[in-house]
Amino acid sequence: MSDTKVALITGGSSGLGRELVRALSADGWRVITDARNHATLTDETHGLPGVEAIPGDVTDFTHREELAAAVRRFGRLDLLVNNASTLGPTPLAPLAERTVEDLPDVWRTNVGAPFALTLAVLPDLLAHDGVLLSISSDAAVEHYEGWGLYAASKAALDHLTLTFGAENPELHAYAVDPGDMRTAMHQAAFPGEDISDRPEPAAVVPHLRHLWEQRPESGRYRAADLPARETAGARR
C-alpha cells in the first residue's frame, strides 16, 4: 500500500471543489473527484497530477459505488470532502411559495448523497486516521428569506457529519461554513447582481487545509476563523 495520501472530493469541476482538487494535487496527494458534467470535469482536471476524475451524479447509487471502488484501488482514504451541493429551485422563494415536491432533489443531493457516500467509505477513513469534511453554509444556522430548503439541508448535513464524529471518536469530523464565494451557485442565488466583491474559492482553501493538517477537535467551524496554511509548493 502506498504512503501517498488519498482524498475523495465530490463536485470537483467548479467552485470550491475544483480549487480543493487543484490544491491537493499540488500538495502531492492522489485525488478522486467527480461531477455531473463529463466534459467540464475532464477539462478542469486534465493534466493535474494524481487526479482520477469519475463523471457521474453523487445521488446515484451506482456512481457512489464507483467512487468507493476507486478508494479501494488506492488502498486508503485520508480525506473525504462532501462538497457537491445544490440550491434547489431557483430563483429562490419563500417557503410559503414552495411545495413538498421541491424538497427531494435538495435533500438527495445535500443530505442523502453525502450520508450514503460517507457510510460507503467510513471503514477506509477510520483505518487511516481520516478526516471527514462537509461543506456547510451560514444558512445552516441563520434564517434567510428564500433560503429555507437549502438551509434545512445544510443543517441536516452538519448534524449527520458531527454525529459521525461523536459515534467514531477516532474520526476527525468537520462541518465548515466557507463563507460567501464568487461561484456559479452563489450567482444563481443572486441573479443579475454583481457578486465580484465575494472572495474567489481559492482564497478559502488555505483555511480548510488547517483542518486536515492540524486536526483540531471535531466540530462546526467558519473558514474565516481558521488559520491559513499555504500549499506545500508555496512553503518550499
Pair 89, 164: CB distance under 8 Å: no
pLDDT at residue 235, as a whole number: 36
Task: Indicate if 218 belongs to the active site.
Answer: no
pLDDT at residue 156, as a whole number: 98
Contacts of residue 184, defined as CB under 8 A and 6 or more positions apart, other chains included, come to: 14, 15
User: Residue type for 64, please?
Assistant: R
Cell of 132: 471527514
Looking at 137, 174, 218, 221, which residue is catalytic?
A: 137
**Span 223-236, pLDDT tens digits:** 999 999 876 544 32
Task: Indicate if 5 belongs to the active site.
Answer: no
Strand order in the sheet with 131-135: 51-53, 30-33, 6-9, 79-82, 131-135, 172-177, 219-222
* Among 151, 141, 152, 131, CA closest to 208: 131
pLDDT at residue 231, as a whole number: 65
- Name the stretches of the chain with pLDDT < 50: 233-236
* Among 3, 45, 54, 55, CA closest to 25: 45
pLDDT at residue 193, as a whole number: 79
Cell of 183: 461561484
Pair 157, 134: CB distance under 8 Å: yes
Q: Is the Cα dihedral 154, 159, 163, 166 positive or negative?
A: positive
Q: What are phi and psi of 172, to 5 degrees?
A: -95, 105
Looking at 136, 153, 174, 221, which residue is catalytic?
A: 136
Measured between alpha carbons, how far is 158 from 200 in angstroms, rounded to an integer? 23
Pair 171, 165: CB distance under 8 Å: yes
Looking at 150, 153, 174, 218, which residue is catalytic?
A: 150
Looking at 154, 174, 218, 221, which residue is catalytic?
A: 154
Measured between alpha carbons, how far is 28 from 57 in angstroms, rounded to an integer? 26
Enumerate the domain spans of the chain. Answer: 6-235
Between the alpha carbon of residue 124 and those of residues 178, 181, 226, the distances in Å are 26, 31, 27
Task: Indicate if 14 belongs to the active site.
Answer: no
- DSSP H helices, the chain, are 15-26, 38-45, 61-74, 103-107, 113-127, 148-167, 184-189, 205-214, 232-235
CATH architecture of 6-235: 3-Layer(aba) Sandwich (3.40)
Measured between alpha carbons, how far is 16 from 22 in angstroms, rounded to an integer? 10
pLDDT at residue 236, as a whole number: 29
Q: Is the Cα dihedral 218, 223, 226, 228 positive or negative?
A: positive
* Among 56, 11, 46, 60, CA closest to 178: 11
> Taking the model in full, what pTM does it have?
0.94
